[in-house]
Structure 1
Amino acid sequence: MQVGQPSRTAMAVAHARAYHQVADEPRVFTDPLAVRIIGESAVRSNEFDDGLDRDLARRRRLFIAARSRFADDVVAEAVAAGTDQVVILGAGLDTSAYRDPHPDVRFFEVDHPDTQAWKRRRLAETGIAIPPSLTFAPVDFEQSTLASGLASAGFDRARAAVFVWLGVTMYLTLPSIHDTLRYIADRGGATEVVFDYLYPAATATPEYGTAQRERADRVAAVGEPWLSYFTADRIRADLLDSGFARVEDRSAAQLLAVYGIGTTASPADSGPHLVRART
Protein backbone atom coordinates (compact mmCIF):
# COMPACT_ATOMS: atom_id res chain seq x y z
CA MET A 1 0.00 0.00 0.00
CA GLN A 2 1.05 3.60 -0.52
CA VAL A 3 1.90 5.84 2.43
CA GLY A 4 -1.09 7.96 3.41
CA GLN A 5 -3.51 5.86 1.32
CA PRO A 6 -5.80 2.93 2.17
CA SER A 7 -4.93 -0.52 0.91
CA ARG A 8 -6.18 -0.90 -2.67
CA THR A 9 -6.93 -4.59 -2.19
CA ALA A 10 -8.92 -3.77 0.96
CA MET A 11 -10.89 -1.30 -1.12
CA ALA A 12 -11.51 -3.99 -3.74
CA VAL A 13 -12.91 -6.33 -1.10
CA ALA A 14 -15.21 -3.57 0.16
CA HIS A 15 -16.38 -2.99 -3.42
CA ALA A 16 -17.15 -6.72 -3.76
CA ARG A 17 -19.22 -6.75 -0.56
CA ALA A 18 -21.10 -3.65 -1.68
CA TYR A 19 -21.77 -4.92 -5.21
CA HIS A 20 -23.07 -8.18 -3.75
CA GLN A 21 -25.85 -6.15 -2.11
CA VAL A 22 -27.20 -4.98 -5.48
CA ALA A 23 -26.06 -7.66 -7.96
CA ASP A 24 -28.52 -10.05 -9.58
CA GLU A 25 -27.36 -13.15 -7.74
CA PRO A 26 -28.42 -15.06 -4.59
CA ARG A 27 -27.88 -12.88 -1.51
CA VAL A 28 -25.52 -14.71 0.82
CA PHE A 29 -24.64 -11.82 3.09
CA THR A 30 -26.66 -8.73 3.99
CA ASP A 31 -24.79 -5.55 4.91
CA PRO A 32 -26.86 -2.33 4.86
CA LEU A 33 -23.71 -0.23 5.34
CA ALA A 34 -21.62 -1.68 2.51
CA VAL A 35 -22.96 0.57 -0.24
CA ARG A 36 -22.92 3.67 1.98
CA ILE A 37 -19.29 3.30 2.95
CA ILE A 38 -18.19 2.79 -0.67
CA GLY A 39 -20.56 5.25 -2.30
CA GLU A 40 -23.30 4.33 -4.75
CA SER A 41 -21.45 5.74 -7.76
CA ALA A 42 -18.46 3.48 -7.13
CA VAL A 43 -20.23 0.23 -6.23
CA ARG A 44 -19.83 -1.45 -9.62
CA SER A 45 -16.20 -0.39 -10.04
CA ASN A 46 -13.46 -2.84 -9.07
CA GLU A 47 -10.05 -2.30 -10.63
CA PHE A 48 -9.00 -5.92 -10.13
CA ASP A 49 -12.05 -7.34 -11.95
CA ASP A 50 -11.85 -5.14 -15.06
CA GLY A 51 -11.54 -7.29 -18.15
CA LEU A 52 -11.87 -10.60 -16.28
CA ASP A 53 -14.41 -13.33 -16.98
CA ARG A 54 -17.69 -12.15 -15.41
CA ASP A 55 -18.55 -15.56 -13.98
CA LEU A 56 -15.18 -15.85 -12.25
CA ALA A 57 -15.64 -12.35 -10.80
CA ARG A 58 -19.12 -13.34 -9.58
CA ARG A 59 -17.76 -16.48 -7.89
CA ARG A 60 -15.15 -14.37 -6.14
CA ARG A 61 -17.82 -11.94 -4.89
CA LEU A 62 -19.90 -14.86 -3.63
CA PHE A 63 -16.94 -16.25 -1.70
CA ILE A 64 -16.17 -12.84 -0.17
CA ALA A 65 -19.82 -12.46 0.84
CA ALA A 66 -19.99 -16.00 2.24
CA ARG A 67 -16.84 -15.68 4.31
CA SER A 68 -18.25 -12.49 5.90
CA ARG A 69 -21.56 -14.24 6.57
CA PHE A 70 -19.75 -17.20 8.11
CA ALA A 71 -17.66 -14.93 10.34
CA ASP A 72 -20.83 -13.16 11.51
CA ASP A 73 -22.40 -16.54 12.31
CA VAL A 74 -19.34 -17.67 14.29
CA VAL A 75 -19.31 -14.41 16.25
CA ALA A 76 -23.03 -14.72 17.03
CA GLU A 77 -22.56 -18.29 18.22
CA ALA A 78 -19.60 -17.33 20.42
CA VAL A 79 -21.43 -14.34 21.91
CA ALA A 80 -24.40 -16.57 22.76
CA ALA A 81 -21.94 -18.81 24.63
CA GLY A 82 -20.55 -15.87 26.63
CA THR A 83 -17.68 -14.45 24.56
CA ASP A 84 -17.55 -10.64 24.72
CA GLN A 85 -14.43 -9.72 22.70
CA VAL A 86 -14.11 -9.73 18.90
CA VAL A 87 -10.90 -8.78 17.08
CA ILE A 88 -11.02 -7.90 13.38
CA LEU A 89 -7.50 -8.31 11.99
CA GLY A 90 -6.76 -6.33 8.83
CA ALA A 91 -10.18 -4.75 9.21
CA GLY A 92 -10.12 -2.59 6.09
CA LEU A 93 -13.67 -1.34 5.51
CA ASP A 94 -15.26 -4.17 7.49
CA THR A 95 -18.59 -3.13 9.04
CA SER A 96 -19.08 -5.88 11.66
CA ALA A 97 -18.77 -3.58 14.66
CA TYR A 98 -21.24 -1.09 13.17
CA ARG A 99 -23.86 -3.77 12.56
CA ASP A 100 -23.40 -5.54 15.91
CA PRO A 101 -26.65 -6.02 17.85
CA HIS A 102 -24.79 -6.81 21.10
CA PRO A 103 -23.72 -3.54 22.80
CA ASP A 104 -21.88 -5.41 25.58
CA VAL A 105 -19.45 -7.04 23.13
CA ARG A 106 -16.18 -5.17 22.61
CA PHE A 107 -14.81 -4.96 19.08
CA PHE A 108 -11.18 -4.19 18.24
CA GLU A 109 -10.24 -3.23 14.67
CA VAL A 110 -6.58 -3.85 13.89
CA ASP A 111 -5.13 -2.31 10.73
CA HIS A 112 -2.43 -0.06 9.34
CA PRO A 113 -2.75 3.52 10.68
CA ASP A 114 -3.19 4.98 7.16
CA THR A 115 -6.05 2.62 6.31
CA GLN A 116 -7.74 3.34 9.63
CA ALA A 117 -7.39 7.11 9.21
CA TRP A 118 -8.99 6.93 5.77
CA LYS A 119 -11.79 4.72 7.09
CA ARG A 120 -12.58 7.09 9.94
CA ARG A 121 -12.80 9.99 7.52
CA ARG A 122 -15.10 7.96 5.29
CA LEU A 123 -17.32 7.00 8.24
CA ALA A 124 -17.66 10.68 9.17
CA GLU A 125 -18.48 11.66 5.58
CA THR A 126 -21.24 9.06 5.32
CA GLY A 127 -22.71 9.63 8.77
CA ILE A 128 -21.93 6.12 10.03
CA ALA A 129 -21.43 6.44 13.78
CA ILE A 130 -18.54 4.72 15.53
CA PRO A 131 -20.17 2.66 18.30
CA PRO A 132 -18.83 2.99 21.85
CA SER A 133 -18.16 -0.75 21.82
CA LEU A 134 -15.46 -0.33 19.13
CA THR A 135 -11.80 0.44 19.73
CA PHE A 136 -9.35 1.08 16.90
CA ALA A 137 -5.95 -0.56 17.30
CA PRO A 138 -3.62 0.95 14.68
CA VAL A 139 -0.63 -1.30 14.10
CA ASP A 140 2.22 -0.71 11.67
CA PHE A 141 3.92 -4.09 11.78
CA GLU A 142 7.22 -2.54 10.71
CA GLN A 143 7.29 -0.60 13.98
CA SER A 144 5.05 -2.50 16.39
CA THR A 145 3.44 -5.89 17.10
CA LEU A 146 -0.09 -7.24 17.28
CA ALA A 147 0.39 -7.98 20.98
CA SER A 148 1.44 -4.44 21.84
CA GLY A 149 -1.24 -2.88 19.63
CA LEU A 150 -4.05 -4.86 21.24
CA ALA A 151 -2.64 -4.34 24.73
CA SER A 152 -2.64 -0.58 24.18
CA ALA A 153 -6.25 -0.80 22.99
CA GLY A 154 -7.35 -2.55 26.18
CA PHE A 155 -7.77 -6.08 24.89
CA ASP A 156 -7.94 -8.63 27.74
CA ARG A 157 -5.87 -11.70 26.87
CA ALA A 158 -7.31 -13.64 29.80
CA ARG A 159 -10.89 -13.57 28.44
CA ALA A 160 -12.52 -15.47 25.60
CA ALA A 161 -12.31 -13.91 22.16
CA VAL A 162 -13.07 -14.44 18.49
CA PHE A 163 -10.54 -13.32 15.88
CA VAL A 164 -11.75 -12.58 12.35
CA TRP A 165 -8.92 -12.47 9.82
CA LEU A 166 -10.29 -12.30 6.29
CA GLY A 167 -8.41 -11.57 3.09
CA VAL A 168 -5.05 -11.13 4.81
CA THR A 169 -2.90 -14.27 5.05
CA MET A 170 -1.99 -14.31 1.36
CA TYR A 171 -0.29 -10.90 1.77
CA LEU A 172 1.87 -11.99 4.71
CA THR A 173 5.05 -14.02 5.00
CA LEU A 174 4.86 -17.48 6.54
CA PRO A 175 6.69 -16.37 9.75
CA SER A 176 4.19 -13.52 10.23
CA ILE A 177 1.25 -15.90 9.79
CA HIS A 178 2.70 -18.41 12.23
CA ASP A 179 3.48 -15.71 14.80
CA THR A 180 -0.10 -14.42 14.58
CA LEU A 181 -1.61 -17.89 14.97
CA ARG A 182 0.57 -18.61 18.01
CA TYR A 183 -0.40 -15.26 19.56
CA ILE A 184 -4.10 -16.01 19.05
CA ALA A 185 -3.85 -19.53 20.47
CA ASP A 186 -1.61 -18.64 23.43
CA ARG A 187 -4.25 -17.05 25.64
CA GLY A 188 -5.99 -17.71 28.92
CA GLY A 189 -9.54 -17.68 27.58
CA ALA A 190 -11.21 -19.82 24.93
CA THR A 191 -10.29 -18.64 21.45
CA GLU A 192 -11.65 -19.01 17.93
CA VAL A 193 -10.25 -17.70 14.67
CA VAL A 194 -11.89 -17.49 11.25
CA PHE A 195 -9.53 -16.85 8.33
CA ASP A 196 -9.04 -17.67 4.67
CA TYR A 197 -6.07 -18.77 2.63
CA LEU A 198 -5.16 -19.62 -0.96
CA TYR A 199 -4.07 -22.93 -2.45
CA PRO A 200 -0.99 -22.79 -4.72
CA ALA A 201 -2.02 -22.10 -8.32
CA ALA A 202 -0.05 -25.17 -9.42
CA THR A 203 -2.65 -27.44 -7.79
CA ALA A 204 -5.57 -25.95 -9.74
CA THR A 205 -7.11 -26.88 -13.06
CA PRO A 206 -5.73 -24.88 -16.01
CA GLU A 207 -8.74 -22.51 -15.92
CA TYR A 208 -8.48 -21.69 -12.23
CA GLY A 209 -4.71 -21.70 -12.19
CA THR A 210 -4.59 -19.15 -14.99
CA ALA A 211 -7.22 -16.95 -13.30
CA GLN A 212 -5.39 -17.09 -9.97
CA ARG A 213 -2.03 -16.21 -11.52
CA GLU A 214 -3.61 -13.30 -13.42
CA ARG A 215 -5.10 -11.90 -10.24
CA ALA A 216 -1.80 -12.38 -8.42
CA ASP A 217 -0.11 -10.32 -11.14
CA ARG A 218 -2.68 -7.55 -10.75
CA VAL A 219 -2.33 -7.17 -6.99
CA ALA A 220 1.46 -7.38 -7.24
CA ALA A 221 1.39 -4.54 -9.79
CA VAL A 222 -0.12 -2.18 -7.16
CA GLY A 223 2.48 -3.15 -4.55
CA GLU A 224 0.41 -5.68 -2.58
CA PRO A 225 1.70 -9.08 -3.77
CA TRP A 226 0.50 -12.45 -2.57
CA LEU A 227 3.28 -14.04 -0.54
CA SER A 228 1.89 -17.19 1.08
CA TYR A 229 -0.11 -20.24 0.00
CA PHE A 230 -1.20 -23.39 1.82
CA THR A 231 -2.80 -26.77 1.27
CA ALA A 232 -5.47 -28.08 3.64
CA ASP A 233 -3.02 -30.56 5.16
CA ARG A 234 -0.38 -27.90 5.69
CA ILE A 235 -2.70 -25.36 7.32
CA ARG A 236 -4.17 -28.01 9.62
CA ALA A 237 -0.71 -29.10 10.74
CA ASP A 238 0.33 -25.47 11.34
CA LEU A 239 -2.82 -24.78 13.38
CA LEU A 240 -2.41 -27.86 15.55
CA ASP A 241 1.26 -27.00 16.07
CA SER A 242 0.26 -23.45 17.10
CA GLY A 243 -2.05 -24.73 19.84
CA PHE A 244 -5.46 -25.08 18.22
CA ALA A 245 -7.41 -28.25 18.95
CA ARG A 246 -10.26 -28.22 16.40
CA VAL A 247 -9.98 -27.22 12.76
CA GLU A 248 -12.74 -26.92 10.14
CA ASP A 249 -11.65 -26.25 6.55
CA ARG A 250 -14.01 -25.50 3.64
CA SER A 251 -13.37 -24.79 -0.01
CA ALA A 252 -15.28 -21.96 -1.69
CA ALA A 253 -17.88 -24.38 -3.07
CA GLN A 254 -18.28 -26.13 0.28
CA LEU A 255 -18.71 -22.81 2.06
CA LEU A 256 -21.38 -21.60 -0.35
CA ALA A 257 -23.19 -24.92 0.03
CA VAL A 258 -23.55 -24.15 3.75
CA TYR A 259 -25.87 -21.31 2.71
CA GLY A 260 -27.69 -23.27 0.00
CA ILE A 261 -25.81 -21.69 -2.91
CA GLY A 262 -24.75 -23.99 -5.72
CA THR A 263 -21.83 -22.84 -7.85
CA THR A 264 -19.24 -24.17 -10.23
CA ALA A 265 -16.56 -22.80 -7.93
CA SER A 266 -13.00 -24.06 -8.09
CA PRO A 267 -12.30 -27.66 -7.01
CA ALA A 268 -11.64 -28.39 -3.35
CA ASP A 269 -7.89 -28.59 -3.94
CA SER A 270 -7.56 -25.11 -5.43
CA GLY A 271 -8.62 -21.50 -4.95
CA PRO A 272 -9.65 -19.92 -1.64
CA HIS A 273 -10.52 -21.84 1.52
CA LEU A 274 -12.07 -20.68 4.78
CA VAL A 275 -10.96 -22.05 8.15
CA ARG A 276 -12.52 -22.02 11.60
CA ALA A 277 -10.13 -23.10 14.34
CA ARG A 278 -10.68 -23.34 18.11
CA THR A 279 -8.45 -23.91 21.10
Structure 2
Amino acid sequence: MEAGRSSRTALMTAEVRARYQLSDPPRIFDDPLAARMVAGDPDEWVTEYLSGVPDRLMPFMIVRYRFAQDAVEHAVATGVSQVVVLGAGLDTFGSRNPYEHVTVFEVDHPDTQTWKRHRMAEAGIGIPPTLRFAPVDFEQETLAAGLAAAGFDRGRPAFFTWLGVVHYLTRDALRATLGFIGGLGQRAELILDYREPPSTEMSSELRERVAHAKREVEAVEEPLIGFFTETEMADELRAAGFDEIDDVGLAAAITRYTGAPPSESALAAGGHLVHATRGVSR
Protein backbone atom coordinates (compact mmCIF):
# COMPACT_ATOMS: atom_id res chain seq x y z
CA MET A 1 0.00 0.00 0.00
CA GLU A 2 1.34 3.42 -0.90
CA ALA A 3 1.77 5.91 1.94
CA GLY A 4 -0.83 8.65 2.10
CA ARG A 5 -3.58 6.91 0.14
CA SER A 6 -6.05 4.08 0.24
CA SER A 7 -5.12 0.59 -0.83
CA ARG A 8 -5.65 -0.29 -4.48
CA THR A 9 -7.94 -3.18 -3.58
CA ALA A 10 -10.08 -0.87 -1.42
CA LEU A 11 -10.37 1.51 -4.36
CA MET A 12 -11.24 -1.41 -6.62
CA THR A 13 -14.12 -2.59 -4.42
CA ALA A 14 -15.43 0.98 -4.20
CA GLU A 15 -15.34 1.17 -8.00
CA VAL A 16 -17.32 -2.09 -8.16
CA ARG A 17 -19.98 -0.61 -5.88
CA ALA A 18 -20.16 2.48 -8.07
CA ARG A 19 -20.47 0.49 -11.30
CA TYR A 20 -23.11 -1.76 -9.80
CA GLN A 21 -25.37 1.25 -9.20
CA LEU A 22 -25.61 1.59 -13.00
CA SER A 23 -27.03 -1.91 -13.41
CA ASP A 24 -30.69 -2.44 -14.22
CA PRO A 25 -33.07 -2.80 -11.27
CA PRO A 26 -33.90 -4.66 -9.20
CA ARG A 27 -30.54 -4.23 -7.50
CA ILE A 28 -29.62 -6.13 -4.35
CA PHE A 29 -27.64 -3.25 -2.84
CA ASP A 30 -27.89 0.54 -3.14
CA ASP A 31 -24.99 2.89 -2.47
CA PRO A 32 -25.85 6.38 -3.80
CA LEU A 33 -22.50 7.81 -2.63
CA ALA A 34 -20.25 5.22 -4.29
CA ALA A 35 -19.86 7.05 -7.60
CA ARG A 36 -18.98 10.32 -5.87
CA MET A 37 -16.41 8.56 -3.72
CA VAL A 38 -14.48 7.21 -6.71
CA ALA A 39 -14.93 10.22 -9.00
CA GLY A 40 -11.79 11.89 -10.33
CA ASP A 41 -8.74 10.62 -12.13
CA PRO A 42 -9.11 6.88 -12.76
CA ASP A 43 -6.54 4.57 -11.24
CA GLU A 44 -4.75 2.67 -14.00
CA TRP A 45 -4.35 -0.54 -11.97
CA VAL A 46 -8.02 -0.58 -10.93
CA THR A 47 -9.21 0.07 -14.47
CA GLU A 48 -7.08 -2.72 -15.87
CA TYR A 49 -7.98 -5.16 -13.10
CA LEU A 50 -11.72 -4.63 -13.52
CA SER A 51 -11.50 -4.92 -17.30
CA GLY A 52 -11.13 -8.65 -16.69
CA VAL A 53 -14.20 -8.87 -14.44
CA PRO A 54 -17.36 -9.68 -16.45
CA ASP A 55 -20.58 -7.85 -15.54
CA ARG A 56 -22.18 -11.18 -14.59
CA LEU A 57 -19.77 -11.39 -11.65
CA MET A 58 -20.92 -8.07 -10.14
CA PRO A 59 -23.47 -9.75 -7.80
CA PHE A 60 -20.70 -12.06 -6.60
CA MET A 61 -18.71 -9.01 -5.45
CA ILE A 62 -21.73 -7.09 -4.14
CA VAL A 63 -23.71 -9.72 -2.25
CA ARG A 64 -21.54 -9.49 0.86
CA TYR A 65 -22.64 -5.87 1.38
CA ARG A 66 -26.30 -6.82 1.20
CA PHE A 67 -25.68 -9.70 3.62
CA ALA A 68 -24.07 -7.28 6.09
CA GLN A 69 -26.78 -4.64 5.58
CA ASP A 70 -29.54 -7.09 6.47
CA ALA A 71 -27.69 -8.21 9.59
CA VAL A 72 -27.05 -4.61 10.70
CA GLU A 73 -30.73 -3.75 10.27
CA HIS A 74 -31.75 -6.66 12.49
CA ALA A 75 -29.09 -5.86 15.10
CA VAL A 76 -30.15 -2.21 15.34
CA ALA A 77 -33.80 -3.23 15.63
CA THR A 78 -32.87 -5.44 18.58
CA GLY A 79 -30.81 -2.97 20.56
CA VAL A 80 -27.38 -2.39 18.98
CA SER A 81 -26.28 1.26 18.84
CA GLN A 82 -22.61 0.91 17.81
CA VAL A 83 -21.44 -0.32 14.40
CA VAL A 84 -17.73 -0.78 13.72
CA VAL A 85 -16.50 -1.03 10.11
CA LEU A 86 -13.12 -2.75 10.19
CA GLY A 87 -10.82 -2.08 7.24
CA ALA A 88 -13.33 0.51 6.07
CA GLY A 89 -11.40 1.70 3.01
CA LEU A 90 -13.79 3.82 0.93
CA ASP A 91 -16.94 2.33 2.46
CA THR A 92 -19.81 4.84 2.64
CA PHE A 93 -22.12 3.30 5.26
CA GLY A 94 -20.97 5.79 7.89
CA SER A 95 -22.03 8.67 5.65
CA ARG A 96 -25.32 6.96 4.69
CA ASN A 97 -26.20 5.77 8.21
CA PRO A 98 -30.01 6.04 8.48
CA TYR A 99 -30.07 5.52 12.26
CA GLU A 100 -29.77 8.71 14.29
CA HIS A 101 -29.07 6.81 17.50
CA VAL A 102 -26.35 4.55 16.02
CA THR A 103 -22.69 5.58 16.06
CA VAL A 104 -20.51 4.23 13.24
CA PHE A 105 -16.79 3.80 13.88
CA GLU A 106 -14.55 3.41 10.83
CA VAL A 107 -11.27 1.62 11.55
CA ASP A 108 -8.39 1.77 9.08
CA HIS A 109 -4.75 2.74 8.68
CA PRO A 110 -4.15 6.49 9.30
CA ASP A 111 -2.84 7.03 5.75
CA THR A 112 -5.93 5.41 4.27
CA GLN A 113 -8.26 7.51 6.39
CA THR A 114 -6.46 10.74 5.56
CA TRP A 115 -6.73 9.95 1.86
CA LYS A 116 -10.41 8.99 2.22
CA ARG A 117 -11.27 12.21 4.04
CA HIS A 118 -9.68 14.20 1.24
CA ARG A 119 -11.81 12.25 -1.24
CA MET A 120 -14.93 12.94 0.79
CA ALA A 121 -14.18 16.66 0.93
CA GLU A 122 -13.56 16.81 -2.81
CA ALA A 123 -16.82 14.96 -3.45
CA GLY A 124 -18.83 17.15 -1.09
CA ILE A 125 -19.65 14.19 1.17
CA GLY A 126 -20.07 15.48 4.70
CA ILE A 127 -19.17 13.81 7.98
CA PRO A 128 -22.36 13.30 9.98
CA PRO A 129 -22.25 13.54 13.79
CA THR A 130 -22.83 9.77 14.02
CA LEU A 131 -19.58 8.96 12.15
CA ARG A 132 -16.28 8.66 13.99
CA PHE A 133 -12.92 7.79 12.50
CA ALA A 134 -10.63 5.45 14.42
CA PRO A 135 -7.23 5.49 12.71
CA VAL A 136 -5.20 2.47 13.82
CA ASP A 137 -1.66 1.58 12.81
CA PHE A 138 -1.53 -2.00 14.07
CA GLU A 139 2.26 -1.89 14.20
CA GLN A 140 2.06 0.77 16.90
CA GLU A 141 -1.28 0.40 18.70
CA THR A 142 -4.11 -2.00 19.32
CA LEU A 143 -7.66 -2.06 18.01
CA ALA A 144 -8.88 -1.61 21.58
CA ALA A 145 -6.84 1.57 22.03
CA GLY A 146 -7.84 3.01 18.66
CA LEU A 147 -11.55 2.45 19.28
CA ALA A 148 -11.37 3.77 22.83
CA ALA A 149 -9.77 6.99 21.58
CA ALA A 150 -12.68 7.41 19.14
CA GLY A 151 -15.26 7.00 21.91
CA PHE A 152 -16.23 3.33 21.53
CA ASP A 153 -18.02 2.05 24.64
CA ARG A 154 -17.09 -1.53 25.54
CA GLY A 155 -20.05 -1.66 27.90
CA ARG A 156 -22.64 -1.36 25.11
CA PRO A 157 -23.60 -3.94 22.45
CA ALA A 158 -21.72 -3.61 19.19
CA PHE A 159 -21.89 -4.90 15.63
CA PHE A 160 -18.71 -5.33 13.54
CA THR A 161 -18.36 -5.71 9.78
CA TRP A 162 -15.08 -7.01 8.34
CA LEU A 163 -15.44 -7.37 4.59
CA GLY A 164 -12.75 -7.97 2.00
CA VAL A 165 -9.99 -8.05 4.61
CA VAL A 166 -9.44 -11.51 6.11
CA HIS A 167 -7.71 -12.92 3.02
CA TYR A 168 -4.94 -10.32 3.40
CA LEU A 169 -4.20 -11.20 7.04
CA THR A 170 -1.91 -13.56 8.92
CA ARG A 171 -3.48 -15.98 11.41
CA ASP A 172 -2.05 -13.97 14.29
CA ALA A 173 -3.66 -10.76 13.02
CA LEU A 174 -6.99 -12.51 12.55
CA ARG A 175 -6.87 -13.97 16.06
CA ALA A 176 -6.02 -10.64 17.67
CA THR A 177 -9.08 -8.97 16.18
CA LEU A 178 -11.42 -11.90 16.82
CA GLY A 179 -10.15 -12.07 20.38
CA PHE A 180 -10.96 -8.41 20.99
CA ILE A 181 -14.49 -8.70 19.61
CA GLY A 182 -15.23 -12.03 21.27
CA GLY A 183 -13.85 -10.75 24.56
CA LEU A 184 -16.15 -7.74 24.86
CA GLY A 185 -18.28 -7.80 27.99
CA GLN A 186 -21.51 -7.17 26.12
CA ARG A 187 -23.37 -8.63 23.15
CA ALA A 188 -21.20 -8.68 20.03
CA GLU A 189 -21.95 -9.56 16.41
CA LEU A 190 -19.58 -9.90 13.47
CA ILE A 191 -19.95 -10.23 9.71
CA LEU A 192 -16.86 -11.32 7.81
CA ASP A 193 -16.02 -12.98 4.53
CA TYR A 194 -13.22 -15.41 3.77
CA ARG A 195 -11.93 -17.68 1.03
CA GLU A 196 -11.17 -21.37 0.98
CA PRO A 197 -7.78 -22.56 -0.29
CA PRO A 198 -7.76 -22.82 -4.12
CA SER A 199 -9.36 -26.10 -5.17
CA THR A 200 -7.47 -28.69 -7.18
CA GLU A 201 -10.82 -29.49 -8.81
CA MET A 202 -10.96 -26.16 -10.63
CA SER A 203 -10.74 -26.17 -14.40
CA SER A 204 -7.41 -25.06 -15.83
CA GLU A 205 -9.08 -21.81 -16.97
CA LEU A 206 -10.34 -21.00 -13.49
CA ARG A 207 -7.03 -21.91 -11.88
CA GLU A 208 -5.29 -19.47 -14.18
CA ARG A 209 -7.87 -16.79 -13.40
CA VAL A 210 -7.28 -17.22 -9.67
CA ALA A 211 -3.52 -17.23 -10.16
CA HIS A 212 -3.76 -14.06 -12.24
CA ALA A 213 -5.79 -12.31 -9.53
CA LYS A 214 -3.18 -13.30 -6.92
CA ARG A 215 -0.37 -11.95 -9.09
CA GLU A 216 -2.22 -8.67 -9.63
CA VAL A 217 -2.76 -7.91 -5.93
CA GLU A 218 0.76 -9.03 -5.06
CA ALA A 219 2.02 -6.48 -7.58
CA VAL A 220 0.49 -3.69 -5.49
CA GLU A 221 1.84 -5.21 -2.25
CA GLU A 222 -1.51 -6.57 -1.04
CA PRO A 223 -0.97 -10.35 -1.31
CA LEU A 224 -3.67 -12.93 -0.65
CA ILE A 225 -2.39 -14.99 2.28
CA GLY A 226 -5.36 -15.83 4.53
CA PHE A 227 -7.25 -18.92 3.31
CA PHE A 228 -9.45 -21.09 5.56
CA THR A 229 -11.59 -24.16 5.33
CA GLU A 230 -15.05 -23.88 6.86
CA THR A 231 -13.93 -26.01 9.82
CA GLU A 232 -10.82 -23.91 10.39
CA MET A 233 -12.79 -20.66 10.42
CA ALA A 234 -15.41 -22.09 12.80
CA ASP A 235 -12.62 -23.23 15.14
CA GLU A 236 -11.05 -19.75 15.13
CA LEU A 237 -14.39 -18.10 15.92
CA ARG A 238 -15.27 -20.49 18.73
CA ALA A 239 -11.81 -20.10 20.25
CA ALA A 240 -12.40 -16.34 20.30
CA GLY A 241 -15.64 -16.74 22.26
CA PHE A 242 -18.37 -16.71 19.61
CA ASP A 243 -21.17 -19.14 20.41
CA GLU A 244 -23.30 -19.00 17.22
CA ILE A 245 -21.85 -19.19 13.72
CA ASP A 246 -23.87 -18.95 10.51
CA ASP A 247 -21.56 -19.75 7.57
CA VAL A 248 -23.08 -19.23 4.12
CA GLY A 249 -21.30 -20.01 0.87
CA LEU A 250 -21.19 -17.00 -1.45
CA ALA A 251 -22.71 -19.08 -4.23
CA ALA A 252 -25.75 -19.83 -2.01
CA ALA A 253 -25.94 -16.16 -0.99
CA ILE A 254 -26.02 -15.09 -4.63
CA THR A 255 -28.97 -17.38 -5.26
CA ARG A 256 -30.68 -16.11 -2.09
CA TYR A 257 -30.52 -12.48 -3.15
CA THR A 258 -30.75 -12.65 -6.94
CA GLY A 259 -32.96 -15.69 -7.41
CA ALA A 260 -30.56 -16.90 -10.12
CA PRO A 261 -28.00 -19.71 -10.04
CA PRO A 262 -24.42 -18.56 -9.52
CA SER A 263 -21.89 -18.61 -12.34
CA GLU A 264 -19.19 -21.28 -12.58
CA SER A 265 -16.68 -18.70 -11.37
CA ALA A 266 -18.74 -17.99 -8.26
CA LEU A 267 -19.05 -21.68 -7.50
CA ALA A 268 -15.32 -22.18 -7.84
CA ALA A 269 -14.23 -19.08 -5.94
CA GLY A 270 -14.58 -20.74 -2.54
CA GLY A 271 -16.02 -17.65 -0.88
CA HIS A 272 -17.96 -17.65 2.40
CA LEU A 273 -19.97 -15.13 4.41
CA VAL A 274 -20.14 -15.56 8.18
CA HIS A 275 -22.46 -14.05 10.78
CA ALA A 276 -20.93 -14.83 14.18
CA THR A 277 -22.48 -13.78 17.47
CA ARG A 278 -21.69 -13.79 21.16
CA GLY A 279 -24.34 -13.34 23.83
CA VAL A 280 -27.16 -13.01 21.28
CA SER A 281 -30.40 -14.99 21.09
CA ARG A 282 -31.35 -15.28 17.44
Tell me which interval the TM-score lies in, with the shorter structure as reference length.
over 0.9
Q: CA offsets per residue over residues 161-199 of structure 1, 9 Å max, x none? A: 100000001111011001111111101111110011111
Distance 1:30 1:274 in 2: 19
Query: Kindly tell me: are residues 267 and 223 of structure 1, through their superposed partners in 2, closer, same or farther at Cα, counting changes over 3 Å?
Result: closer
Q: State the SS of the aligned residue for 1:248.
A: strand
Q: CA offsets per residue over residues 179-223 of structure 1, 9 Å max, x none? A: 111111101111110011111113551243332221011000111
Residues 1:182 and 2:179 aligned together: yes
Output the amino acid matched with 1:253: A
Output the amino acid matched with 2:49: F
- Residue aligning to 2:77: 80
Q: CA offsets per residue over residues 130-188 of structure 1, 9 Å max, x none? A: 11001100011111111110111111112111000000011110110011111111011
Distance 2:273 2:24 in 1: 24
Distance 1:17 1:3 in 2: 24
Distance 1:194 1:131 in 2: 24
Q: CA offsets per residue over residues 8-57 of structure 1, 9 Å max, x none? A: 1100010111111113586221111111111287599633233x3626xx
- Residue aligning to 1:123: 120
Higher deviation after alignment, 217-226 or 61-70: 61-70
List gaps (5 residues or longer) in structure 2: none
TM-score in terms of structure 1 length:
0.92
Query: Kindly tell me: are residues 203 and 121 of structure 1, through their superposed partners in 2, closer, same or farther at Cα, counting changes over 3 Å?
Result: same
Distance 2:30 2:256 in 1: 16
Q: Is the 8 A contact 1:110 1:139 kept in 2?
A: yes
Distance 1:267 1:103 in 2: 37
Output the amino acid matched with 2:48: E
TM-score in terms of structure 2 length:
0.91
**Aligned-residue CA RMSD in angstroms?**
2.0
- Residue aligning to 2:232: 234
Give percent identity, aligned residues only: 45
Higher deviation after alignment, 5-14 or 21-30: 21-30
- Residue aligning to 2:274: 275
Question: How many residues in Structure 1 have an aligned counterpart in Structure 2?
Answer: 275
Aligned residue among 203, 206, 209 for 1:208: 206
Higher deviation after alignment, 36-45 or 174-183: 36-45
Q: Quote the offset at 1:266 in angstroms.
A: 4.3
Distance 2:201 2:26 in 1: 26
Distance 2:142 2:200 in 1: 33
List gaps (5 residues or longer) in structure 1: none
Distance 2:168 2:59 in 1: 21
Q: Is the 8 A contact 1:185 1:243 kept in 2?
A: yes
Distance 1:204 1:101 in 2: 44
Output the amino acid matched with 1:146: L
Q: CA offsets per residue over residues 98-144 of structure 1, 9 Å max, x none? A: 11111110100000111111111111111111110011000111111
Q: State the SS of the aligned residue for 2:178.
A: helix
Query: Kindly tell me: are residues 43 and 112 of structure 1, through their superposed partners in 2, closer, same or farther at Cα, counting changes over 3 Å?
Result: closer
Distance 1:222 1:162 in 2: 31
Q: State the SS of the aligned residue for 2:63.
A: helix
Residues 1:152 and 2:149 aligned together: yes
Q: Is the 8 A contact 1:200 1:270 kept in 2?
A: no
Query: Kindly tell me: are residues 204 and 173 of structure 1, through their superposed partners in 2, closer, same or farther at Cα, counting changes over 3 Å?
Result: farther
Higher deviation after alignment, 206-215 or 94-103: 206-215
